[in-house]
Amino acid sequence: MHAVRDHDLAVAQLRRSYEAVPPGQPVRLAKRTSNLFRPRNAPRTPGLDVSGLDGVLGVDPVARTAEVQGMCTYERLVDATLAHGLMPLVVPQLRTITLGGAVTGLGIESTSFRNGLPHESVIELDVLTGAGEVISARREGEHADLFAAFPNSLGSLGYATRLRIELQPVRRHVALRNVRFTDLSELTAAIGQITASRRWDGEPVDALDGVMFSPDEAYLVLGSFTDDVPAVSDYTGQDIYYRSLRRRQRDALTTYDYLWRWDTDWFWCSAAFGVQHPVVRRLWPTRWRRSDVYHRIVRLEHRHQVAARIDRWRGQPPRERVVQDVEIPLERTAEFLHWFADRVRMSPVWLCPLRLREPTGAGSARSWPLYPLRPAQDYVNIGFWGTVPIAEGAADGDVNREIERAVSEVGGHKSLYSDAYYDRDSFDRLYGGDTWRAVRDRYDPEHRLTGLYEKAVARA
């Protein structure tokens, strides 16, 4: 009862803070952390007060569900669910991603080849709309249009205050097999086989992702939940997880460490801060080896341009930030990866197979119009995060625009947490513009919330 009362008070405070925003002024959450790489204009008004909406309201181990507030991080949720031998169906790879953020801005991880995306395990959610109302939306019923359009709406249709999600049983450990491929066509064929059978070489596969270091050196990491392993590795100290793929064919982690295996070094991006150097690593406090710490450093650099000024002083060319996650149809993945290695030349890249969840009842698969992946289609999420030098005669953004064109040419989609350069017509075609406008007109008739295109491309 206390949790429910506290939640109601927090929602009331959120609504008061929304009402305090003058009409015509941008609406934005007041959050301490962010996983966005999309620069935004400086706010002129205080953000919405979500300070009381960051907890777990309850876990039902019998129904295998969790009731969670919108600003609750997956780190906090996992702490609550693992105590019951359960975990969310998809746990995005960074600790401070929130439940509301993963639904309204998408998320993915190694269980996505069988469980889809985080929003597909949502049973119902409460949304503060642009009209200032809190509406409960479900798969069916009066507000099914809002439920379907909310994923990938980026706050342009409202903010989730409460979600009820499905959970799955999990074991204490994850046994890993690191399978090397020297041919990308063979790698994609293996992904298709594993997705169809959920097995490889006679053993079950519960989790699947991978890393490409080059077109002739790539690895699939096959995970199986288990209670029985001879020993476990620890990649929170001096050892670095992604490097282990090259030297270990078999490995094991506790389930907790497996879920956050990419967070300690922000995949491999901690190298940019020197954290992978043995001396720096010993001196860098363990509690600061976290993605949110690295992200704060990046935000400071974006604001003050210290490293950029040093590079100019040293005569180095300016650099373009290329931080993207793209979904490519499986049958075109090898083609895209060869193009990427030849044209963009960033390495490593993350590989995370994805397939929308199959319907459990009668009827066709659910449509998610603002991120319209095709049902029964295997995709591979390809993640690449870093910078490239701006060639003489080129402009900042040219490489990202070229990537957008290449993704569209192979029938893919890209996530919108980072820089986007689409014109409005292309954006509307790719991200359900007509559906978004119809839902926005119903739930935000005065258009108080910033539009989806304005958020994703215009950086509003």
Task: Compute the distance between CA of residue 179 and CA of residue 199 in angstroms, rounded to an integer.
Answer: 13
Strands (E), 76-206: 86-88, 122-128, 134-138, 159-169, 173-181, 199-200, 203-204
Q: How far from each other are the two terminal CA atoms of the chain, in whole angstroms? A: 39
Question: Which range has the worst mean pLDDT, 53-67, 229-243, 293-307?
Answer: 293-307
The predicted pLDDT at position 36 comes to 73
DSSP H helices, 207-285, are 241-244, 255-259, 278-283
Residues of the chain with pLDDT > 90: what percent? 85
The predicted pLDDT at position 69 comes to 98
Average pLDDT of the chain? 93
Task: Compute the distance between CA of residue 4 and CA of residue 2 in angstroms, rounded to an integer.
Answer: 5
The predicted pLDDT at position 363 comes to 43
Each residue's pLDDT tens digit, 237-281: 999 999 999 999 999 999 999 999 999 999 999 999 999 999 999
In this predicted structure, the answer to whether residue 366 has a pLDDT above a threshold of 80 is no
Rg value, the chain, Cα? 22
Each residue's pLDDT tens digit, 303-332: 767 566 656 666 678 899 999 999 999 999
Question: Which range has the worst mean pLDDT, 101-115, 137-151, 296-310, 335-349?
Answer: 296-310
Task: Compute the distance between CA of residue 435 and CA of residue 451 in angstroms, rounded to an integer.
Answer: 13
What average pLDDT does the segment 211-240 reach? 97
Each residue's pLDDT tens digit, 153-189: 999 999 999 999 999 999 999 999 999 999 999 999 9
* DSSP at 32: S
Task: Compute the distance between CA of residue 211 and CA of residue 231 in angstroms, rounded to an integer.
Answer: 24
What average pLDDT does the segment 77-93 reach? 98
